[in-house]
Structure 1
Amino acid sequence: MKRFIYFDNLRSAAVILTVAALLLQPWHAFYEESAVIAISLVFFISAYFGASALRTHMIPFFLKDKWKHLGWPGLVLFFLGLEESWLTAALPVTSWVLLWLFLLFAGLALAKHMSHSFLQHRAAGRPSLLFLIGFFIVLSVLLFLCQTYLPKTLVLPYVAAFRPDWLILAAFAFALGVYAFRHRWFTASGYQPSGKLLFAFAVMVGVYAAIMGAHSVGIVTAIVPALLLLASIFGLSGWFRTQFNSHTAWSHTLHRISYGFFFVSEPIILHVMWFLQPLSAALWLKVVLTAVILVIYGFLLCRYALLHIPCFKSKG
């Protein structure tokens, strides 16, 4: 299918937001909100284009390709988590992303295997209000049950720490991406979100910061992330479609290295912060030094090493 350049730019922005959240993890409110936005965008866009690829390819080929691009890097991150936990005494928090995305793609392939018409295009149209309300209610209920009955963080000893509520958010963003592909959203004949929806996104960012920063517990803490997921997907995709629907030299380079940069960012941040920890310097200075080292070393590593490895090569 036609590649949407603004989706490339939006996914690059989500990677930058993820890196910023990892760097600013001590600022809890920013970290939590950034994670919800980045998860929503990455899993939605991945599902949209993944469903397109699965529609035109055989299931074994599709799964083999996804294992090459997600499975092997995901396993490497898990093994890196062992070393990081021994050295820095800090567990990685994004190691689950790649393998969880692969499992979701495997589930999508199973759905196609059970029904070959599952990924066929439906009539193009706007998102129905009834569908969005139902999507929002189900997601909010599941988030509420998760926050009520499960621990906030589940730990895979020596490997990674992951959040059950983020797994749910990722799965629903992925499902929405598949639904959007089936109904031809974002195509010329289908629905294209308006750039004015950025206002709804900005409002939800403010609401999230005000409500979730208070550490309240209840149905509100489930409703707000669900609304932010929808606002992020529609608001930012509409804005990027109108403002960032072309590539410049730097944006194309960023798009090509963004996956590799995501891959190396957390290991670099954990190790640099561990080495800087004994220094009697202000926290903000340590963060700035870590960011500078990450940008320089991460760019060089991605541009001149990872891009030559098949699983990190960009298709765009």
Structure 2
Amino acid sequence: MNTSVVITPTNPPKTGLNRIYFLDNLRATIIIIVVLFHSAIPYMIHAPNDWYVISAQKNIIFDIFVAINDVYMMPIMFLAAGYFALPSLRRKSFSSFWIDKTRRLIIPWIFGVIFLQPVIKYFRYLSRDNADMDLQTYLHLSFLGGSVSQGHFWFLGALALVFFGLSLLFLWKRPLFQQQSAKIKQPSALLFIVFGIITSLGFFVVSIISPDHTWEYIFSIVLVQPTRFVLYVCYFALGLYAYQNLWFTAQGYRPRLKTWLFPAIMCVVVFLLFKVTYPVSTTLWVKLANGFIHAFCCLCLVFALLGFFEKYLNFTSNLWDKLVANSFAFYFVHELFVVALGYLTINWSMPLSLKYLNVAILSIIISYVLCEHGIRRVSFLRKFF
């Protein structure tokens, strides 16, 4: 049976102008999860050695929480960015598009790296053996001495690079992106299988050259995890495809939670068992298995979350509007409070769960108040956030 819907002048696709609330709400929720994610890192048993503050109190629950959320958070953000990229490109010239991206991405990226990240990184020195090093000395010996860190601002640079690639492709192949699909078709299972295989192989091939979890610079400027960046580019491209084919609209494809939930749960179980059995990917076969497990776990989690939000959170309200409006500024400032509160509470004598909740909840509240009642009230700052 042909389930295609023909788009005619009297039956136009309702995308671009109408908000898709569940995508907005999912993006805002991912930013909250990022705060919970960063708040949990100090309490991991296998916390990264270069994290700003590492607690003596640890629990494997935080390792599991970080490992699972690390799989899907950024792919969702890049998929959403790809989905909303084409309407902006179509409305604007190349120059006006990049004037907007410079204001909304590149200037905040540079400002964050130069002015905020040194302060955030300073807590690493305070919590280690250099507690007597004042901020001025630290800036002189470390940051100004060449030890520049991008921290969570890497996302802005990576997203700007992907937008740059898209804008060049748009100039070169404009007709390819100019019109949406004339027919709306439900994607087949084969499409998702092929996408999963492509992302799996991309992850695997890059992991041979650059091991998973390592960070490297592109053009000596943009900081990325190469294995993950392959996924991000693929999900950005999937977002473009989804927009072109009217996914997430009333007529188009909308992920069903009951379709994706069980595969997502099974993938998470396999993913965790694999990480316990092979904590370090060494041989080619282990790297290959790691690529497939990570990529398919990511795929199922991303679409299970899309299905959940489409089913239960496809609406707006005053609170959701504020969370969505503040999400970018929220991401921009949150890590300063997460790290500062983690440092201030590091020696508190209390159950680890309460300490974590204190840091996470206070970071969310302070970041939200600063964004809603500070940044949004200043017209100059609103231009960038």
1:312 and 1:196 mapped to 2: Cα distance? Answer: 39
Q: 2-side partners of 1:161 and 1:63: how far apart?
A: 20
Instruction: Report what 2:344 is aligned to.
Output: 275
Which structure: greater helix fraction?
Answer: 1
Following superposition, the deviation at residue 130 of structure 1 comes to 3.9
Aligned equivalents of 2:88, 2:352: Cα separation in 1: 45
Tell me, yes or no, if structure 1 residue 175 matches structure 2 residue 237: yes
Give CA-to-partner distance per residue, 1:179-213, whole Å, 9 cap, x none.
11112212233222223234133333333233234
- Aligned 8 A contact 2:117 2:151 in 1: no
Q: Which position in structure 1 is the counterpart of 2:275? A: 212
Paired position in structure 2 for 1:81:
117
Q: Which amino acid aligns with 2:240?
A: V
Pick aligned residue for 2:35 from 16, 19, 24: 19
Distance 1:116 1:162, change over 3 A: closer
Structure 2: distance between partners of 1:70 and 1:264: 14
Give the counterpart of 2:202 among 142, 145, 162: 142
Q: Indicate conservation of the 8 Å contact 1:92/1:266, yes or no.
A: no
Which of these residues, 289, 307, 313, is aligned with residue 244 of structure 1?
Answer: 313
Q: Distance in 1 between matches of 2:72 and 2:80?
A: 12
Larger Rg computed on CA atoms: 2
1:17 shift after superposition = 1.4
**Aligned to 2:326, which of 257, 260, 263?**
257
Partner of 1:112: 170
Moved over 6 A (4+): none
Shift of 1:84: 2.5
Distance 1:286 1:160 in 2: 34
Contact 1:81 1:160 (8 Å CA) reproduced: no
Distance 1:292 1:204 in 2: 29
Aligned residue pair count: 311
RMSD: 2.4
Change in 2 beyond 3 A, CA 1:267/1:188: same
Which residue does 2:152 correspond to in 1? 94
- Aligned CA distance change for structure 1 residues 274 and 154 (closer, same or farther; 3 Å): same
Aligned equivalent of 2:214:
153
Alignment of 1:187-198 (within 5 A): 187-198=249-260
Aligned 8 A contact 2:71 2:298 in 1: yes
Query: Who is 2:131 aligned against?
Result: none
Looking at structure 2, the residues matched to 160 and 86 of structure 1 have their Cα atoms a distance apart, in angstroms, of 22
Asked if 1:39 corresponds to 2:74, the answer is: yes
User: Against the structure 1 CA distance between its residues 270 and 115, is the aligned structure 2 distance closer, same or farther, given a 3 Å change threshold?
Assistant: same
Deviation at 1:138, TM superposition (A): 2.1
SS of 1:191 mapped into structure 2:
coil
Q: Distance in 2 between the 1:160 and 1:303 partners?
A: 30
Q: Corresponding residue for 1:202?
A: 265
Residue equivalent to 2:54: none
Q: Aligned AA for 1:86?
A: Y
The separation in 2 between residues aligned to 1:192 and 1:292, in whole angstroms, is 32
Structure 1 residue 290: deviation in Å?
A: 1.6
Return 130-139 or 280-289, whichever deviates more.
280-289
Structure 1 residues not aligned, in runs of 5+: none
TM-score, length of structure 2 as denominator length: 0.74
Which moves more between the two structures, 283-292 or 293-302? Answer: 283-292
Aligned-pair CA distance for 1:155: 6.1
What is the Cα deviation at residue 283 of structure 1?
Answer: 4.1
- The share of aligned pairs that are identical, in percent, is 25
Amino acid aligned to 2:233? A
Query: Distance between the aligned counterparts of 2:360 and 2:191, measured in 1?
Result: 41
Q: Distance in 1 between matches of 2:175 and 2:83?
A: 16
Identify if the C-alpha distance between structure 1 residues 76 and 29 changes in structure 2 by more than 3 Å, giving closer, same or farther.
farther
Shift of 1:146: 2.5
**Corresponding residue number in structure 2 for 1:61:** 96
Equivalent in the alignment of 1:121: 180
After superposition, what is the alpha-carbon deviation per residue over 1:213-258, rounded to whole angstroms, capped at 9, x for unaligned? Answer: 4425312211122112221332221221121111123222222222
User: When the two structures are superposed, what TM-score results if normalisation uses the length of structure 1?
Assistant: 0.89
Q: Distance in 1 between matches of 2:325 and 2:318?
A: 11
CA–CA distance in structure 1, aligned partners of residues 82 and 257 of structure 2: 22
Is contact 2:260–2:304 with CA below 8 Å preserved after alignment? Answer: yes
